[in-house]
Amino acid sequence: MSSSTVYPRHSLRTIGLCFFVALLEGLDLQATGIAAPYMASEFGLSPASLGWLFSAGLIGLLPGAVLGGGLADRYGRKSVLIAAVILFGLFSLLTAHSSTYEGLLAARLVTGLGLGAALPILIALSSETVDEHLRSTAVSLTYCGVPLGGALAGLLGMLSVSGDWRLVFYVGGIAPLLIALLLTLWLPESRAYQGRSGAGLSMPLRAMASSLFSQGRGRGTLLLWASCFLTLTTLYMLLNWLPTLLLERGMSRLDVATIQVLFNVGGAAGTLLAGFLMDRQKSFMAVALAYLGMLVSLAALGTADQLQWLLLAGLLAGACAVGGQLILYALAPRMYPADIRATGVGVAVAVGRLGSMTGPLVAGQLLAAGTGVGGLLLAASPVVVLAAVTAAGLINRNGAEIGLADLPKA
C-alpha cells in the first residue's frame, strides 16, 4: 500500500508543516538554556536573574496554550497557528536584539505566549487530518519535531564557539517567519473544523472550557490533567537538572552534551513508537513501556558509573519521558468533539506546563536539602508511578479511551 493511500497528499502536507513548526518550538524551548552562560556573562546576571529568565518563557506558555486552543476552536486552526508562529518568531528575534535584562524578560514572556498557543493547534490539526485509526501516529510524526528541535538547539550551541549567544535566537526567529509564509500558502484548514456544528462559532470561551466536563467527559478530563501534570513534572526535572547532575558526578561537558543530544534523539524515537503502538490498539503496552522505562532510566542515571551505561540511560530516559508525553497528547484530541477539541488539548497542555515549572523547582529544593543525585532521582519515582496510574486510567480494557464511544465523530 502506497503512502499516498494511507495518508492523502493534503494530510502529508499538513503533518509535514506541523512537524517543522514543532521543530522550531523545540529549538526555542531549549534556546535560553543553551545561551544562558553567554547571556549571564554579557549582562552580568546572577543565578537568580537567570532563573527568572528561564521562567519568563514558561510563564507565557500557560495562557498561550489556553488562549491558542480556544481561539482556534472559534476562528480556525490555520489563522491562529500562523499568528502564533509569527509571534514567537518576531519575539525570538527581539530576544537577540535586547540590550537590557528587562527587554530579555519581556521578549521571552511574549515568545512563550506564541509557543504555548502553537502546540495545541499542532496536535489538533495533525489528529484531524487523517482517519481515526491513524491519529496517534499522525500526532507522533508531528510531535517528534519537538525533541529533534531540542537536539538542533544543542548543535547550534556547539557551533557558537565564539560565544555569540544570539545565533540560536536568529535561527529561532527567522525560520518561523519563513514557515509562516509556507503555512499561509500551503496549509489547508482542518476539515473537522470546517464540518463542525455551528454552536461552537458563538460559544464563549468560558462555556467551551466548562464543556470539557459535560456529557460524561469529566472523569477523563481530570485523569488527563493529572497525568499531564505528573509526566511533565518528571520530564522537565530531567531537562533542566540532568546536565548539572551529571557534571556534579564528574563527567566532562562533552559527555554531558552527548547525553543531552541522545535524550532528545531518544525522545523522537519514543514518540514514534508510542504513536505506532496506540494506533494498533496497544495503548496499555505503550503506557507500560513508557513509565516502566522512566523508572529504569532514572535508576540508571543515579547509579551507573560507566559512560556507555549513562549514554544508554540518557537515550532511554528521553524515549520514555517524551514518549509518555506523546501518549497523553495523542489521547487528548480523541477525547473531545471538533467544537472543543483545540480547547481541550490547550487546557491539558497548560496543566502540563504547570508540572514543567513544578518539577525543576521541587528538584532544586530537594538538592538544597542535601538529597544528592541518587536521592533526587529516587524521589521522582513515586511521581512516575502516579503518572502511569492516571495514564492507564484513560484507557479501558479494550484499549479504547474513556468517553470515545459517546463522542460525535469529527
How many separate domains does the chain show? Answer: 1
Which residue has better confidence, 408 or 42?
42
pLDDT tens digits for range 260-279:
889 999 999 999 999 999 99
Sequential DSSP letters for 217-232: THHHHHHHHHHHHHHH
Q: What is the pLDDT of residue 226?
A: 95
For the stretch 55-80, pLDDT in tens is 888 889 999 999 999 999 989 999 99
Query: C-alpha cell of 157?
Result: 550551541
Look over the chain and give the mean of its residue pLDDT values, rounded to a whole number.
Answer: 86
pLDDT of residue 50: 80
* CATH number of the domain encompassing residue 157: 1.20.1250.20
Q: What is the pLDDT of residues 149-188, one digit of tens each?
A: 988 887 877 776 556 789 889 999 999 999 999 999 999 9
d(CA 337, CA 103): 41
CA dist 330 and 128 (Å) reads 11
Give me the residues paired with residue 401 across strands.
395
pLDDT, tens digit (0-9, with 9 covering 90-100), for 1-52 = 444 445 677 899 999 999 999 999 999 988 887 788 788 889 998 877 887 8
Q: What is the pLDDT of residues 332-375, one digit of tens each?
A: 998 998 888 999 999 999 999 999 888 877 887 887 787 777 77
Range of the domain at 165: 3-406
- Which position has the higher pLDDT, 233 or 408? 233
Determine contact, residues 147/26, Cβ cutoff 8 Å: yes
pLDDT at 36: 82
Please tell me which residue, 52 or 142, carries the higher pLDDT value: 142
Q: How confident is the model at residue 380 (pLDDT cuts 50, 70, 90)?
A: confident
Distance CA 276, CA 189 (A): 25
pLDDT at 106 over 90: yes
Bin 185: left if φ > 0, else alpha if -120 < ψ < 50, else beta: alpha
pLDDT confidence band for 253 (50 / 70 / 90): confident
Work out the burial of residue 408: count CB atoms within 10 Å of its CB; fewer than 13 is exposed, 13-18 middle, 19 or more buried. exposed
Q: Indicate the range of 5-9, 227-231, 287-291 predicted with least confidence.
A: 5-9
